[in-house]
Amino acid sequence: MIAILRSAILAGLCISIGCIVNLRVGGVAGAVLFAFGLLAVVHYKLKLYTGTAGFIRAKGDWSMLFFVLVGNIIACGLTALAASYAQPDILTPDMAIVQSRLAKGPLACFLLAIGCGFIMTTAVQFGREGKFLPLLFGVPVFILCGFAHSIADAFYFLAVPELYSTQLLIIYIAEVLGNFAGCNLYRWVIAKQDMI
């Protein structure tokens, strides 16, 4: 599990880099540049929660998925604290994202996370087949749709300790569950024999 945790921490760092550039640049350009994080994760075959949840087996992978999530969150938390100290200009756009999630509430964030999970699993599947263009498109699509990515939100949420609350924790759990549902949507809807 140590190897899984190390891979997950590095994956969380990659996503954190995407978060930082998105906060500094914003708009379509920020959303496109965020894709570097996922491209790095897929290239190095790192363990990212939203890149792993849609591919786990029915048995045996639950503890691995838990350690992936924990490692991703650890990296995002440490990177968020370092980045918010070194580049405090990211805090204003970061706070806007967090307050938007709080205003939406857990159910809306759960639903928005389903869309993100579906996009991420689809993009990663293409990446595993050596097709990286969908990775480049998938990230801006989920960001511009306003969908919730639980690992990116770990960075955004942990960068602003003054907004920590039980409500934020509930929203985060809803996003993790929503991402899981979205990541597995294709498996639940399409029977294995129907997939070509």
pLDDT at 60: 67
pLDDT at 18: 98
pLDDT in tens, 20-66: 999 999 999 999 999 999 999 999 999 999 999 998 876 668 999 99
Confidence at 192, pLDDT banded by 50, 70, 90? low
DSSP string, 22-54: HHHH-HHHHHHHHHHHHHHHHHTT---HHHHGG
What's the whole-model pTM score? Answer: 0.94
pLDDT at 86 over 70: yes
pLDDT at 121 over 80: yes
**C-alpha span between 176 and 148 (Å, rounded):** 9
Which contacts qualify for 92-99: CB closer than 8 Å, 24 or more apart?
93/23, 93/26, 94/23, 94/156, 94/159, 94/160, 95/160, 95/163, 97/153, 97/156, 98/156, 98/157, 98/160, 98/163, 98/168, 99/163
Least confident stretch, 77-91, 123-137, 156-170? 123-137
pLDDT in tens, 95-115: 999 999 999 999 999 999 999
pLDDT at 195 over 80: no
Confidence at 1, pLDDT banded by 50, 70, 90? confident
pLDDT at 196 over 50: no
Alpha helices in the chain (DSSP H): 2-25, 27-43, 49-52, 62-86, 91-104, 106-128, 133-145, 150-158, 166-183, 185-189
Evaluate whether 177 touches 113 at the Cβ level (below 8 Å): yes
pLDDT at 57: 76
**C-alpha span between 166 and 182 (Å, rounded):** 24
Average pLDDT value for residue range 7-15: 98
Specify whether the backbone of 156 is left (phi greater than 0), alpha (psi in -120 to 50) or beta.
Answer: alpha
Average pLDDT value for residue range 159-178: 97
pLDDT at 59: 66
pLDDT at 9: 98
